[in-house]
Amino acid sequence: MANVLFTNVRIIDATGAAPYQGELLVQGNRIARIGRGTRSLPSTGITVIDGAGATLMPGMCEAHTHFGWTNSKTLDAIQKMPHEEHTLWAAQVAKLYLDHGWTSCVGAATPKPRLDCVIRDAINSGQIPGPRYTAASQEITVTGSLGDDMLPHLPFPEMSFGCVVDGPEGMRKAVRMFLKYGVDQVKLNLSGDNLVPGADARTSWMSDEEVAVAAREVKVRGKRLASHARSSESVKQSLRHGVEVIYHASFADEEALDMLEAHKDKIFVAPGLSVIIRLLYDGEVVGVTNTIAKDMGYELELEAAVKSMKAMLKRGIRVLPGGDYGFAWAPHGENAKDLEYFVKYLGMTPMETLISATRWGGQIMMKKDLGELREGWLADLLLVDGDPLANIALLQDKSKLLAIMKDGEFAKAPEIRSARSRFVA
C-alpha cells in the first residue's frame, strides 16, 4: 500500500453534500486527508494522480450478488456445472465485478454449499482478485418452491439448485451446516417466483416454525438472515423473524410497508429490478417474448415493485442496487444498469442512486467506515471519466473507470504519463 494523492478531481463524497473540487490523500488503506480546492495537501514523497477534472467517488456495493450464477437460461443449468469448473467460474466473475467498480458485494446465494465461502476466503487471502464479499449459503427452500429442482427419477440433493428442507428439524440441520462452513449470511426462499410453475411470486410456502428455527440458529452465531421475499406475506414473515436483508419485496402491501418502516434502521431491501425488466424486454435471447413474459406475470410484478419501492423510499427505507445478475438475459458485468433503472423507474435522482450504491452499501456490508469519502475511512475509490450525476449510465462503461482502488490498493491503476507519476484523465 503506497501513499497516493488524487488531485484536481471533482469529489462526490456520498454524504449527501454537493460535489466539490478538491484533493484526497490515501495512506495505507485509509483516506488520510481531504482538501477543498487545489494544492491544499502536501505531495512530497507521494504518488500524485492528476485527475484532470475527473470524478472521484466511493467504490460501489452490489447488494444482490451471485458469483456462482453461470449466465445460464435456467436455474437447474447453473447447478449442473461441476464443482471444479464452478469454482474457477466464480473466481473469474469476482474479478469481473471488481473490474466494473463494485468494490463490495453481498452474496445473495450460492449454488453449491461452500462455494461462496471458498471465493470469499481466496479474495481475503490475496489468492484471487475480487471485491469485499459477504459469503452466502445456498437458497434454502421447501419442497415444490423456488430452488427445488429434484426430479422424481433423480432424487439426489446435489442435483437441486436450492437446499430443500421440510419442517423445523430439517431447517435446523441445514442452517447449522451452512454456519459450520462459515457463511456470513443464510438465505431463505420465503416466496415463490414467476420462473417456477405452480409457485409464483405471490405464494408463500415456508412455515413460521421453519423460519423461526433458522432465525434462532443464525442469531446464536452472530450471523445474518436474508430472504427471497416477493409476496407481501413473505415480507411480513421476514420482519416478524428478524430478517435483515430482504430481496425483491415486489408485492408489499400497506401493512408490510408499515412494518418495513418500523424496522428501517435495521433492514435493507434490494428489489432486483433487472431480472424482471430484462425478461420483459430482452427475454427473447432465451425464447421469452414480451407476450410470454407478461403471461408469466412479469409486467404485473414490475408495476407492483415500482409502486412498492417508491413507497419505501418515501418512508426512508434503504433500497439498494443488486439486480440478480448472472442469467442469459441479464449477464454478469451489466450490473450498473440497476443504477439507470433506479433513476428511470423509481424516480430517484442520480445523487440518491449513488448514495444507495455507496453509503448504504457500506452499511449493508456491516462496515462503519466504508461507503463514503471521509478522513479515516477505508480507501475504496473510483476515478470516473465524466460526471455520473449528469449521466448515470457512465458507470455501465468500465472504460470510463480510470482507476479502481480497493482497501488502498489499485485494482486498476491509472495510466502513468511521466516519471513524476502524474496522470491526466
Q: In 10 A of CB 284, how many CB atoms?
A: 13
Predicted local distance difference test score (pLDDT) of residue 37:
86
Grid cell digits, residue 148: 427445488
210 domain-assigned: yes
Where among 335, 359, 392 does a domain terminate? 335
Give yes or no for residue 425 having a pLDDT over 80. Answer: no
277 domain-assigned: yes
Domain that residue 183 falls in: 60-335
- Place 422 in a pLDDT band, splitting at 50, 70 and 90: very low
357 domain-assigned: no
At 242, phi and psi to the nearest 5?
80, 25
79 and 46 share a domain?
no
Give yes or no for residue 419 having a pLDDT over 60. Answer: no
46 and 65 share a domain?
no
What's the whole-number mean pLDDT along residues 189-208?
Answer: 92
CATH of the domain at 252: 3.20.20.140
Q: What is the pTM of this model?
A: 0.94
310 and 400 share a domain?
no
Which among 227, 46, 39 has a CA at the least distance from the CA of 140? 227
CATH of the domain at 396: 2.30.40.10
Give yes or no for residue 80 having a pLDDT over 90. Answer: no
How many residues in total does the chain contain?
425
Which among 208, 213, 276 has a CA at the least distance from the CA of 240? 208
253 domain-assigned: yes
Predicted local distance difference test score (pLDDT) of residue 149:
80
Which among 117, 120, 139 has a CA at the least distance from the CA of 130? 120
Tens of pLDDT, residue by residue over 253-287, are: 999 999 999 999 999 999 999 999 999 999 998 99
What's the whole-number mean pLDDT along residues 246-252?
Answer: 98
Angle between helices 208-220 and 168-181 (to 10 degrees): 30
223 and 281 share a domain?
yes
424 domain-assigned: no
Tens of pLDDT, residue by residue over 65-75, are: 999 999 998 88
Residues 328, 285: contact at Cβ < 8 Å? yes
Give yes or no for residue 39 having a pLDDT over 60. Answer: yes
Beta bridge partners of 133: 105
- The 8 Å CB, 24+ separation contacts for 397-400 are 398/99, 398/100, 398/101, 398/333
290 and 384 share a domain?
no
* Percent residues over pLDDT 70 in the chain: 97
297 and 330 share a domain?
yes
What is d(CA 276, CA 308) in angstroms, rounded to the nearest whole number? 14
Tens of pLDDT, residue by residue over 85-119, are: 999 999 999 999 999 999 999 999 999 999 999 99
What is the total count of domains within the chain? 2
What is d(CA 90, CA 165) in angstroms, rounded to the nearest whole number? 26
Grid cell digits, residue 213: 428455527
Where among 307, 335, 363 does a domain terminate? 335
What's the whole-number mean pLDDT along residues 136-148?
Answer: 92
Where among 335, 361, 382 does a domain terminate? 335
Which among 136, 210, 201, 207 has a CA at the least distance from the CA of 173? 210
366 domain-assigned: no
Tell me what the pLDDT averaged over the chain comes to. Answer: 94
Close Cβ partners of 167 (under 8 Å, ≥ 6 residues apart) = 209, 210
293 and 227 share a domain?
yes
154 domain-assigned: yes
Give yes or no for residue 2 having a pLDDT over 80. Answer: no
67 domain-assigned: yes
239 and 265 share a domain?
yes
